[in-house]
Structure 1
Amino acid sequence: MKRCILEGTRIWQGDPEAKDTYVDFKGSFRTEGTGRVFLRISADSNYTVWVNGQVAGFSGCADYPDFRRFDRIELTKFCREENELRITVWHYGIQTQTYLSADGFLLFDIYEGTNLLLKSDRHILSRINPFYRNGYCKSISPQLGCSFFYDATKSETPYQESVEQGPGLAHWREQKPLRLKAPVKAKITPSDKGYFIDLGKETVGFFFLEADSPEEQLLTVFYSERLIGGKVNGRPGWLDFSLEYKAKKGENRYLNTFRRIAGRYLFIECPKGLNIRYAGVCPTDYPLVETHRKFADPLVQKIYDTSVYTLRCCLHEHYEDCPGREQALYAMDSRNQMLCGYFAFRGSAYQRSNLVLISKGLRPDGLLSICFPAGMDYPIPFFSLVYVMQVYEYLSYTKDQSLLPIVRGTLDTIMKTFRSRIEENGLIASFEYPFWNFYEWTDLSHNASQIGRTKEDKTPKQYDLSLNCMYIYVADMYDKMTGEHTETEGMKKAIKEHFFLADKGIYRIDTLHDRYSQLSNSLALLAGLGDRELAKNILTDPDMIPVSLSMTTFLYDGLLKTDSGYRDFILENIKTKYKKMLDAGTTTFWENEDSILDSKAVESLCHGWSALPAYYFHILEA
């Protein structure tokens, strides 16, 4: 993958390290009407482009400082003979699980055919945006980062020449631009403290307001996926789902195209009343084409359609675990999403782009970071193995072998790292600090206490069944991709020796506990360490820790590997689990089966990894 040299140079105004800062740029260009007009643009962090006052493009910084990518946006329909260009860049500058901190910059060029019309250099005028509260740094969540404060009562400030920062090197992000849609229908109900808004379903997009204010006043807008006691709880637990807008007297029209929000409900807290023409969300999504599968069973159809909508809500610049509190690209989450996408949508360029991005998250210790990019990192070893599976499945479903040379180095390093940790007893121990030995959100598998541990913290050494079985499972995939031969027979023998409970006919979850889980035993099936008897015990043992919603993929695949006759069980199991969510009124599928019951109200009610019916309904011909 070669880098392109854009004609422009990187430019900025003010301190490029300043946190939570908005910088405006403006210029002009003339078209001849001889060809299509395209903008190539790269920035740190999020940008919005206006041509002649119309939003022409927007996106986020989903890359690495040493692997900058540029978007290619067609401007033709926005252009006339003389054109005004305005760009605002929002620089985060704060490490999160969705952003790796670097200096703020803007880089662009505009072409009509092969004719260069405009490029970023010192002659592009710029200023610190006077309307956003710069340096505010109000956190939504540690994973996602900042919300915003917009002050419509502020006045315009002058522009000056930009400061050049360096050459314009970037890779083309081979994805289509995100779409900005018309505002969704919103039911607005006044109350004594403000206005309650119901969008009718989970909606992902940008806050949009059209209203008249009797005087200057601060509006605090809360948004949420659920109601608690009939009210919008915009500050559950450690989260803060709110944004602030200071209205000017008279007409206010505001659209934020920098921070996506997600939810069904909003509440606008306004002490002095408003005459609202519209308040809600303009959806934004990635333009994938659906396959529109039809099923005879109405329940299956409803589950499938809701799964596809859940997938759509969780993909923008890249796959997202959830569109609300994190918007983060994880290997495990995106593996489920990609798998569903091979059947629910046409094309595979989006999956490919994400797999390349993930490959850039290789750490010096040989495993992947927790997210991509990630400035705040709690690496999960199990998820590094999932990446090997992701690439294998991509090659299998798309037949696009050109990806392999690009990511081969990452695959080799991951497998080498795991091989190097095989001990004399034939097993890989759970990883020490700074790693998080997460598998799923169930007892003995989430290990959430490891997130806050330090290098000095000592924990008993243990070996986890899930990790060792997953290594064996993906080693076979790695060998098929690369032609290598990975020795796993010794590990298989060690697993039987250290984990198998002969009196139960099942494997224990780790070497410190005699409990057992559906996930780890399903992985044993996939690793070739079980038969129909183990499959039966996984489903019937009353003490078995049930598999979580996102990890049912391993349960279902393990069962099908032993006996295709489990098809009917799997379809009924899916219908039972997902009907419960539909009966609760959901319009997207939850992070876990009981997320709606979460007392802290922080679990997501829209999670891409839970859209698995979109895959299984296809392969099982529901």
Structure 2
Amino acid sequence: MELWKNGIWIWAEGYDSVNVYIDAEVSFTKKPGQTVTMAVSVDTNYAFELGGRLFFGQYADYPFDKVYDLLDLTDAAAEGENRLTIRCWHQGDDSSTVRGETAGLIFEIFADGACIAASSPETVVRPVAGYAMGPIEHVSGQLGYSFRFDSRVPEAEPVRTVLPDKPLPRRERPIRKLTLGEDEPAAVAVTGSYRENGGDTMGKRMQFASLRFGEQNRRRRFPSEDGLALRAEEGEDGVFILIDTERENAGLLSLDLDVPQEAEILVGWGEQLDDLRVRAFVGNRNFCASYTAHAGRNRFVHPFRRLGMRYLELHIASKEAVIRYAGIKRTDYPLEHEMAFSCADSLHTRIFDVAKRTLLMCMHEHYEDCPWREQALYTMDSRNQMLCGYLAFHELDFPKASIRLMAQSIRDDNMLELCSPARVSITIPSFSAIFLTQAWEYLIYSEKLTGKADTDFLSEILPVMKRIADEFIRRRDPENGLITCFPERQYWNFYEWQDGLVSSIGTVSSEDDLTYDAPLCAFVSFGLRSLANTLDKLGRADEAAYYRREHLSLNEDLDKAFWDEDRGAYATYINRKTGEKRHFAELTNALILYADAAKGARLDSTLINLTGKGGLLPVTLSHSIFKYDALMTRPEQYARFVFSDIARHWGYMLEHEATTFWETIEGAREFGNAGSLCHGWSAVPIRFYAEYAMTLDSGVTGLYECAMRPIR
């Protein structure tokens, strides 16, 4: 079956702008016994129904490397004529998940390998009149547009089919497609009436509405064919219902309800009820969409925006409504392998299980930092996710695909984009440095899990790794060998979400403010070590020796410059002009140990400091991986501390009803009440259970009767 000999890129004339929806119609005939397949690619996303099944989900890709789905339609297609309406959504501008590029759809349908239908100038296309198009509210700046859909609007007339100039798709999606679950079971938390209090966005309208609670004991479960009848109190604008799926979930909005007359329904989603409702509006974000129902029964699934949530809230502008279902259809990544961990201390067993679910909720078309607020692929976040995923899921295809996406984002300044496959105005230098280690770790685990290191892939991305490394080497100060913060406006000198380690975005550092940054130097140092190790594995000894010398010399310069004898610890910053040392943090000291820059008494002192005895600024959940790895270089002394620290912090989240682990220990209060309660980088404990609890003596770790076994 030879692809792309018939299909061409098409679109609807006049609809290549931001946030647009179009339909493309195609018919094909299936003869008895034929196998039917479809190749399809789009910018930005597609969905269609056939034989009662929903096919959806364009792989996250780049315009210069378009990826296609190869779909098996055999069971879904009926014998005889089949009619497809391929619905497409085009975002059209940049966010942290998508690059704003030229809209386009291309497809081919095959029967027993012969093309029987394809996108062409004759393909009928039309705008989807029910969707509000153009700029509307963003869910978040990182995630892009929410949606407004009006089910009353009749089908639009066809428009002229245009032929965008776009490269043909080059390769099939590298990972498995998401599964689509049934309506996720949910419980009614509360119902009542509401009154609007204004607001110029969907999120504000929901957030600011007055709620009048109804009966408190209506604990109906959904889905329910009989439905739950709601009636508004006199003088109120409509009815509301708050629904609990009872744990963190990610999936497509699904509604099944009746209204006696047409009515707008605001749909809000969130992870917690700290506001006694979902937090539909916070910091200019709108976790809210609008669906306008027609009179009668309404069934609706929105296939283009995945929701990360536990709770769903509906404000229905009707005096009456019957709810049969409101929630999501889960969109999980289909794992082939999964490990279970058990321990005599059930707290650690539970931490492993919840960390594993945290990982799963952050795996879709690529690794995501979080399913609720951003759904973006970052190097630092995904490095933790990969290390834990290798051990919990024995997964290689998924990390490999994400690493390729990140490598493809290399910019003219030799840094990676902040998020992939996106285009973002700023980037974080340390996140480019960690990529070198992330790639090396993939090579290690590919060999551990399969018996053969994936050297072909590392050879493919090696030019990107060297560009990053060479840029950092170029920026080393010729006098002291250190690297300053990146002073230009397009760089964010971020290290972790902790005081003094965040920096500011979009500013230019003055000469007086320029600092040598120990965290950056350490990230670069062990990145250079990782590159040298990779080159050794690829049989390129001379190049490996060069980068290893750079690693070792940077270590010497780090140790010499940042050690503060009075504090018995390494400082985070040195002012380039005055030489003043300031800021003492666990992260800084852990990174220097991870780079192997500390020796002798300084190493001993720093390890003790990392147990909380040195008065250092504590490390956060995500970056605790560096602290724990540093301490586990001496497990006989520090393993018990590591596992008790895990129990303390991750146990705290479980005590506060976490069903997945949070972005930071502050939970939803963080970042102006926009903290995520499901963040992939916080699955850290998995690594330490699998790598250390399972290999060290119980007397060393303090964990007894530890076992890991495959459950699929």
Q: Partner residue of 2:491? A: 435
Q: Partner residue of 2:400? A: 352
2:502 maps to amino acid: H
Give the drift of 1:599.
Answer: 7.5
Q: Is the 8 A contact 1:388 1:477 kept in 2?
A: yes
Q: Partner residue of 1:499? A: 562
Q: Unaligned regions of 5+ residues in structure 2, if any?
A: 195-239, 447-452, 537-543, 576-580, 695-705, 707-712
Q: Partner residue of 1:538? A: 610
Q: Partner residue of 1:600? A: 672
Structure 1 counterpart of 2:322, from 244, 257, 275: 275
Q: Is the 8 A contact 2:131 2:149 kept in 1?
A: yes
Question: What is the DSSP-based 3-state SS (H/G/I as helix, E as strand, rest coil) of the residue aligned with 1:127?
Answer: strand
Structure 1 counterpart of 2:440, from 342, 367, 392: 392
Q: Give CA-to-partner distance per residue, 1:29-58, whole Å, 9 cap, x none.
A: 112344532221111101112224531x21
Q: Distance in 2 between matches of 1:182 and 1:105?
A: 30
Q: Is the 8 A contact 1:535 1:562 kept in 2?
A: no
Could you tell me the TM-score, scaled by structure 2's length? 0.84
Q: Partner residue of 1:301? A: 349
Q: Is the 8 A contact 2:41 2:169 kept in 1?
A: no
Residues 599 and 119 from structure 1, CA distance in 2 versus in 1: closer, same or farther, beyond 3 angstroms?
A: closer
Structure 2 counterpart of 1:208, from 254, 259, 265: 254
Q: Partner residue of 1:316? A: 364
Q: Distance in 1 between matches of 2:510 and 2:299?
A: 53
Q: Partner residue of 1:426? A: 481
Give the drift of 1:615.
Answer: 1.8
Following superposition of structure 1 onto structure 2, how do residues 145-164 of structure 1 map, counting pairs within 5 Å?
Answer: 145-160=144-159, 162-164=161-163
Q: Distance in 1 between matches of 2:567 and 2:558?
A: 15
1:422 maps to amino acid: R
Residues 4 and 572 from structure 1, CA distance in 2 versus in 1: closer, same or farther, beyond 3 angstroms?
A: farther
Question: What is the DSSP-based 3-state SS (H/G/I as helix, E as strand, rest coil) of the residue aligned with 2:582?
Answer: coil
Residues 360 and 576 from structure 1, CA distance in 2 versus in 1: closer, same or farther, beyond 3 angstroms?
A: same
Q: Partner residue of 2:540? A: none
1:517 maps to amino acid: A
Q: Distance in 2 between matches of 1:141 and 1:458?
A: 35
Question: What is the DSSP-based 3-state SS (H/G/I as helix, E as strand, rest coil) of the residue aligned with 1:371?
Answer: coil
1:558 maps to amino acid: A
Between 254-263 and 72-81, report the one with greater CA deviation.
72-81
Q: Is the 8 A contact 1:205 1:281 kept in 2?
A: yes
2:487 maps to amino acid: E
1:446 maps to amino acid: V
Q: Partner residue of 1:178? A: 178
Q: Partner residue of 1:566? A: 638
Q: Is the 8 A contact 1:183 1:283 kept in 2?
A: yes
- 1:579 maps to 2:634: no
1:286 maps to amino acid: Y
Q: Partner residue of 2:215? A: none
Give the drift of 1:138.
Answer: 1.5
Q: Partner residue of 1:527? A: 595
Q: Is the 8 A contact 1:197 1:267 kept in 2?
A: yes
Between 491-500 and 136-145, report the one with greater CA deviation.
491-500
Q: Partner residue of 1:192? A: 193
Q: Is the 8 A contact 1:221 1:266 kept in 2?
A: yes
Q: Partner residue of 2:60? A: 62
| Percent of residue pairs bearing the same amino acid type | 32
Give the drift of 1:532.
Answer: 2.6
Q: Distance in 2 between matches of 1:107 and 1:168?
A: 8
Max radius of gyration: which structure?
2
Q: Is the 8 A contact 1:6 1:169 kept in 2?
A: no
Q: Partner residue of 1:28? A: 27
Following superposition of structure 1 onto structure 2, how do residues 442-457 of structure 1 map, counting pairs within 5 Å?
Answer: 442-447=498-503, 449=504, 451-453=505-507
Q: Give CA-to-partner distance per residue, 1:72-115, whole Å, 9 cap, x none.
A: 22212201122222211100012111111101100111223321
Q: Is the 8 A contact 1:136 1:148 kept in 2?
A: no
Q: Is the 8 A contact 1:342 1:397 kept in 2?
A: yes
Residues 456 and 471 from structure 1, CA distance in 2 versus in 1: closer, same or farther, beyond 3 angstroms?
A: closer
Q: Is the 8 A contact 1:181 1:282 kept in 2?
A: yes
Q: Give CA-to-partner distance per residue, 1:152-195, whole Å, 9 cap, x none.
A: 11112233552222463332221111111011112233211211
Between 242-251 and 161-170, report the one with greater CA deviation.
161-170
Q: Distance in 1 between matches of 2:459 and 2:7?
A: 30
Give the drift of 1:120.
Answer: 1.2
Structure 2 counterpart of 1:263, from 309, 327, 338: 309
Q: Partner residue of 2:125? A: 126
Give the drift of 1:452.
Answer: 3.1
Question: What is the DSSP-based 3-state SS (H/G/I as helix, E as strand, rest coil) of the residue aligned with 1:10?
Answer: coil
Give the drift of 1:276.
Answer: 0.8
Q: Distance in 2 between matches of 1:271 and 1:459?
A: 58
Following superposition of structure 1 onto structure 2, how do residues 545-556 of structure 1 map, counting pairs within 5 Å?
Answer: 545-556=617-628
Q: Distance in 2 between matches of 1:206 and 1:343?
A: 29
Q: Distance in 1 between matches of 2:122 and 2:657?
A: 55
Q: Is the 8 A contact 2:433 2:524 kept in 1?
A: yes
The RMSD of aligned alpha carbons is 1.9
Q: Partner residue of 2:86? A: 87
Q: Give CA-to-partner distance per residue, 1:289-336, whole Å, 9 cap, x none.
A: 342313033211211111111111111111100001100000011111
Question: What is the DSSP-based 3-state SS (H/G/I as helix, E as strand, rest coil) of the residue aligned with 2:10?
Answer: strand
Following superposition of structure 1 onto structure 2, how do residues 447-486 of structure 1 map, counting pairs within 5 Å?
Answer: 447=503, 449=504, 451-453=505-507, 460-483=513-536, 484-485=544-545, 486=547
Question: What is the DSSP-based 3-state SS (H/G/I as helix, E as strand, rest coil) of the residue aligned with 1:618?
Answer: helix
Question: What is the DSSP-based 3-state SS (H/G/I as helix, E as strand, rest coil) of the residue aligned with 2:626?
Answer: helix
Give the drift of 1:457.
Answer: 6.8
Q: Partner residue of 2:217? A: none
Q: Distance in 2 between matches of 1:141 and 1:177?
A: 25
Q: Distance in 1 between matches of 2:378 and 2:512?
A: 26
Q: Partner residue of 1:517? A: 585
Q: Partner residue of 1:284? A: 331
Q: Give CA-to-partner distance per residue, 1:356-381, whole Å, 9 cap, x none.
A: 11111000000101000222232111
Q: Partner residue of 1:408? A: 462
Following superposition of structure 1 onto structure 2, how do residues 96-107 of structure 1 map, counting pairs within 5 Å?
Answer: 96-107=95-106
Q: Distance in 1 between matches of 2:397 and 2:65?
A: 18
Q: Give CA-to-partner distance per residue, 1:327-352, whole Å, 9 cap, x none.
A: 00000111111111111113411111
Q: Is the 8 A contact 2:8 2:106 kept in 1?
A: yes
Q: Is the 8 A contact 1:73 1:177 kept in 2?
A: no
Question: What is the DSSP-based 3-state SS (H/G/I as helix, E as strand, rest coil) of the residue aligned with 2:516?
Answer: coil
Residues 201 and 452 from structure 1, CA distance in 2 versus in 1: closer, same or farther, beyond 3 angstroms?
A: same
Q: Give CA-to-partner distance per residue, 1:512-554, whole Å, 9 cap, x none.
A: 4422111110111122222233211222335201001000111
Q: Partner residue of 2:270? A: 224
Q: Is the 8 A contact 2:668 2:674 kept in 1?
A: no
Q: Partner residue of 1:417? A: 471
Question: What is the DSSP-based 3-state SS (H/G/I as helix, E as strand, rest coil) of the residue aligned with 2:663?
Answer: coil
Q: Give CA-to-partner distance per residue, 1:126-163, whole Å, 9 cap, x none.
A: 10011111114211111111000000111122335522
Question: What is the DSSP-based 3-state SS (H/G/I as helix, E as strand, rest coil) of the residue aligned with 1:223?
Answer: strand
Q: Is the 8 A contact 1:591 1:607 kept in 2?
A: yes
Question: What is the DSSP-based 3-state SS (H/G/I as helix, E as strand, rest coil) of the residue aligned with 1:78?
Answer: coil
Q: Partner residue of 1:13? A: 12
Give the drift of 1:238.
Answer: 2.4
Question: What is the DSSP-based 3-state SS (H/G/I as helix, E as strand, rest coil) of the residue aligned with 2:163?
Answer: strand
- 1:334 maps to 2:406: no
Give the drift of 1:409.
Answer: 1.1
Question: What is the DSSP-based 3-state SS (H/G/I as helix, E as strand, rest coil) of the residue aligned with 1:274?
Answer: strand
1:62 maps to amino acid: A
Give the drift of 1:390.
Answer: 1.1
